[in-house]
Structures are given as C-alpha cells and as structure tokens.
C-alpha cells in the first residue's frame, strides 16, 4: 500500500500561513493599551462598587499613531493660542488610547500632563446626587467639618468634603442652574462652575490626569479636557473655551446650618462604598510637606503648602496668607482700585490633616465681599465669630448676611474667591501680589 506525501510546495504554504498568524497575534498584543495603574493610597486606589458607565469605542483614527481633527458644532472664540499637532508622548497615548478626545487641539504642552494614578473615572463623579435634611446629616457630620456651601436663588446646599474628597466632582442642578461642584484635594481647591456652554449642558468626570498637581476634568459630550483650577478647556474640541465660575464658599457645617436653616446636605448614599469621614491624604496639609505630583518650580515667596485666600479681579490677582488673615480677622483692601473685604472665622477643620477629618486642626473659614452696599462703603471689625460694621452697628456672618441691626436681611455681594495651597495658585497665577509683602 502506498502512503500519500504532501508536495514541498504545499508544505511551504503551510509554514508561511502559520508564520502570518503568529505575526498578526504579536501585533495585536503590542497594540493593546498599557493598563492603568492605581495609586497605593487615595480615593482611586479603591475600586468602584458601581458598574462604570460604558464609554464610546475609539474611532479608527484614535490609534497611538494618529489623531485627526473633527468638525465642531461649537464656536470657540479664544485669545489663547490653539496648538494643532498631536505630539503626545507614548505614555500619554497608551493611557488615552480608547478616548474620543480630539488631540489635535490643545492650549498646553502635552509634557505638562501627568498621570495621577487612577484611570479615567477611577475616582467616580457623583452624577445623581441625593440630599438629606440637616438634622439627618448631623448624625454623621460635625459642625466643624468643612462643606462647600452653594446658594442659588434660595436653593442652598452643602457638599461635605468628607464626600467630595472621594469623588472630586458632583454634577448637580441648583436653583435651576446646572452646576459642577468640584474639589481637588492635592491643591485644596473647591471651585463651582456653571455646566452650560453654548446651549449644551455638559457632564464632567475625572480624567485621571493632573497638571500642576491640579485635577483635569473631562466632559462626556466631547471628551475635551478641562483644567479645574481655571475652568479652561485645554485639550480637544472645546480647547480655548471657558466655563463660568459660580461663587461658593468653604465653611463649617455649623456655619452653614446657621446661615441656611432650610438648606440640604449631600447624602452619603452615593451608590459607592467609601470610607466617608476618613482622610485618604493624611498628613498632606503640613507646611513642610512637598506637593504631590508637582514638577514645576515652586514660588518661594511663601512655603509651597501655605494656605492662601485668593482673588483674581482680572487686572490684578491677590493672595491673602491665612496666617495674616487669621490674626486680623478682617482685611480691608483695594487691589487695582477694587474695594473688597476679607472675613475669617475660626471653627472649621482641615479636610487634609488627620486621618479622620473631625480630628484635624482648625483652619477656619473665609469669605470675600464687596463692602459697598446701597451706595455706602462699610468697614468691619470682628467680634467672636461674627462681624460688626462701623457705620450702622449691624452684625454680619461669614457668608455676608446681615443677621442683626439696622441692615438685618441685607446681603453683601460675594467676590469670587477660593482657599488654596500657595504652590498651586502661584503655578497658574505667577503674577499674583501677596498681601502684606514688601
């Protein structure tokens, strides 16, 4: 019986086919994006307990080799230069390989962007916030704990930092206005924005990226990147755009309860399992500490981690060191010809000091206001935890409400301000004047 043999040609074809399969397999494996690394500490190190929202799949042009600009429905008028070359590093390309961001539009250098550790949405925003009464919140929230206080058209809400530290962004609607209440623990920056842009309501999430140690947000409509500190679009379709700031204040829960007795409080029922009340950045709020993931050159006019109350009035930016403000209680100033008054009261603890927030040191709360009211310029002095104006003897609280005296019921106009660590403010506003410096 004869045995059949394959011809040399068929054998060669088989070998070549096998090699082709092997080559394809290697290319596929090499093209896979590098898995995101999570930090060993901090909110992003704990996996989400809720199924993440599926993200759009990448367009064919969003490969590590190329990115092509797409047409936009938005009209971006900006005095900021828009760079149009996608020159991301290989590391940044790997981290963002599945994103639908238009990388051909950016206002910053890509080498300024660092990975914060957690991937995009690894620190989950709160997109369907629930609120509870002050009485219910008081069972787990102490009067001295810091909250972001926001009031729009009579709708007053408190966002405890013990929750925001773990989520960094709350997408909400307050007084009929879509807002994003944000907090970057690394910069101690609590900032509120109007989420509307050219008729579109944007929803924001955490990108997992940092610049000058500050949170970079992204919007889920265009997947553009936004700098939390400045409210500016820095990468993508909306690069060069600006969000509108909304005045809010960082005060103690007890101060919020007195100022807004009908106000509500963000609930711990967020849909996620977190150690609310614990500080994952224990010891960070230390004057001798080095900023985390900050590769800039610190402005040595103040210690990097010094707390400052900051205002940007357009033609002049000023930082008021907390050490000076806490000693004075009240500062009257006229930077660039703009009248303002800065208040400080004790009784609010840091969210970034002890491992349990309520056990942290007292840093107080601040407010910045226009002292002109009904054609009269008021001057103030501090008495305990309130302020009394010299002109009428009326008594005022930390959020600028007259609570007693001839002007009771009046409200000072708030001036947009924030309490930051000095290194972060100076990185974005290097021209800042420091109050009290020669």
Q: Which CATH architecture does the domain made up of 307-434 adopt?
A: 3-layer Sandwich (2.102)
Per-residue pLDDT, 72: 59
Q: What is the mean pLDDT of residues 328-357?
A: 97
pLDDT of 299 > 60? The answer is: yes
Per-residue pLDDT, 107: 97
Angstrom distance (rounded) from CA 360 to CA 367: 21
- The token duo for 128 is 């369907």
pLDDT digits (tens, 9 = 90+) for 86-137: 999 999 999 999 999 999 999 999 999 999 999 999 999 999 999 999 999 9
Average pLDDT over the chain reads 87
pLDDT digits (tens, 9 = 90+) for 170-203: 999 999 999 999 999 999 999 999 999 999 999 9
Per-residue pLDDT, 438: 65
Per-residue pLDDT, 437: 85
pLDDT of 392 > 70? The answer is: yes
Q: What is the mean pLDDT of residues 252-268?
A: 98
277 backbone dihedrals φ, ψ, rounded to 5°: 105, -20
Q: What is the mean pLDDT of residues 270-275?
A: 97
Q: What is the mean pLDDT of residues 355-368?
A: 98
Per-residue pLDDT, 45: 44
Per-residue pLDDT, 34: 36
Give the residue among 297, 321, 319, 301 at the shortest CA–CA distance from 310.
319
| DSSP state at residue 282 | T
Per-residue pLDDT, 74: 76
204 backbone dihedrals φ, ψ, rounded to 5°: -110, 150
Burial class (CB in 10 A: 0-12, 13-18, 19+), 353: buried
pLDDT of 151 > 70? The answer is: yes
Q: What is the mean pLDDT of residues 412-438?
A: 95
CA 60 to the chain's CA centroid = 32
Per-residue pLDDT, 330: 98
Angstrom distance (rounded) from CA 158 to CA 14: 70
pLDDT of 3 > 60? The answer is: no
Q: Are 267 and 131 in contact (CB under 8 A)?
A: yes
Per-residue pLDDT, 70: 54
237 backbone dihedrals φ, ψ, rounded to 5°: -55, -35
23 backbone dihedrals φ, ψ, rounded to 5°: -60, -45
Per-residue pLDDT, 2: 40
pLDDT digits (tens, 9 = 90+) for 124-134: 999 999 999 99
All CATH 2.102.10.10 domain ranges of the chain, comma separated, are: 307-434
Identify any residues that bridge with 179 across adjacent strands, giving them in sequence order. 172, 194
pLDDT of 60 > 60? The answer is: no
Under 8 Å CB-to-CB from 417, ≥6 apart: which residues? Answer: 247, 309, 310, 311, 342, 366, 367, 368
Q: What is the mean pLDDT of residues 162-168?
A: 98
pLDDT of 404 > 90? The answer is: yes
* Least confident window among 70-74, 212-216, 355-359, 360-364: 70-74
Per-residue pLDDT, 43: 62
The model's pTM is 0.84
Burial class (CB in 10 A: 0-12, 13-18, 19+), 391: middle
Give the residue among 194, 383, 426, 405 at the shortest CA–CA distance from 297.
426
């Amino acid at each position: 019986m004869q045995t059949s043999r394959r011809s040399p040609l068929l054998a060669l074809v088989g070998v070549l086919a096998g090699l082709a399969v092997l080559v394809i397999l290697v290319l596929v494996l090499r093209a896979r994006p590098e898995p995101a690394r999570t930090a060993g500490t901090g909110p992003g190190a704990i996996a989400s307990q809720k199924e993440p929202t599926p993200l759009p799949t990448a367009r064919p042009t969003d490969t590590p080799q190329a990115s092509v600009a797409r047409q936009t429905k938005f009209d971006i008028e900006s005095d900021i230069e828009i760079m149009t070359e996608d020159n991301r590093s290989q590391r940044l390309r790997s981290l963002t390989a599945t994103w639908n961001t238009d990388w051909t539009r950016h206002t910053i250098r890509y080498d300024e962007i660092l990975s914060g550790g957690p991937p995009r949405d690894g620190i989950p925003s709160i997109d369907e916030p629930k609120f509870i009464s002050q009485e219910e919140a008081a069972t787990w929230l102490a009067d001295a704990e810091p909250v972001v206080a926001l009031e729009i058209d009579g709708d007053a809400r408190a966002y405890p930092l013990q929750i925001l530290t773990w989520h960094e962004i709350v997408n909400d609607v307050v007084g009929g206005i879509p807002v994003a209440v944000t907090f970057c623990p690394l910069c101690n920056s609590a900032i509120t924005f109007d989420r509307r842009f050219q008729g579109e309501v944007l929803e924001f999430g955490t990108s997992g990226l940092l610049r000058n140690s500050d949170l970079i947000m992204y919007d889920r409509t265009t997947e553009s990147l936004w700098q939390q500190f400045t409210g500016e679009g820095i990468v993508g379709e909306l690069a060069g755009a600006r969000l509108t700031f909304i005045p809010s204040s960082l005060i103690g829960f007890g101060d919020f309860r007195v100022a807004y007795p009908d106000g509500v409080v963000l609930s711990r029922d967020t849909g996620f399992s977190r150690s609310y009340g614990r500080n994952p950045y224990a010891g960070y709020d230390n004057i001798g500490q080095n900023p985390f993931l900050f590769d800039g050159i610190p402005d040595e006019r103040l210690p990097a981690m010094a707390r400052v109350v900051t205002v940007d009035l357009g033609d002049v930016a000023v930082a008021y060191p907390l050490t000076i403000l806490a000693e004075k209680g009240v500062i009257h100033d006229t930077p660039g010809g703009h009248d303002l008054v800065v208040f400080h009261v004790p009784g609010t603890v840091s969210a970034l000091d002890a491992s349990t927030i309520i056990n942290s040191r007292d840093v107080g709360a601040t407010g910045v206001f226009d002292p002109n009211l009904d054609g009269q310029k008021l001057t103030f002095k501090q008495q305990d935890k309130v302020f009394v104006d010299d002109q009428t003897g009326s008594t005022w609280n930390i959020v600028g409400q007259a609570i007693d005296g001839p002007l009771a019921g009046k409200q000072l106009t708030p001036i947009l301000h924030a309490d930051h660590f000095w290194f972060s403010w100076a990185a974005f506003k290097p021209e800042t004047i420091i109050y009290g410096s020669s």
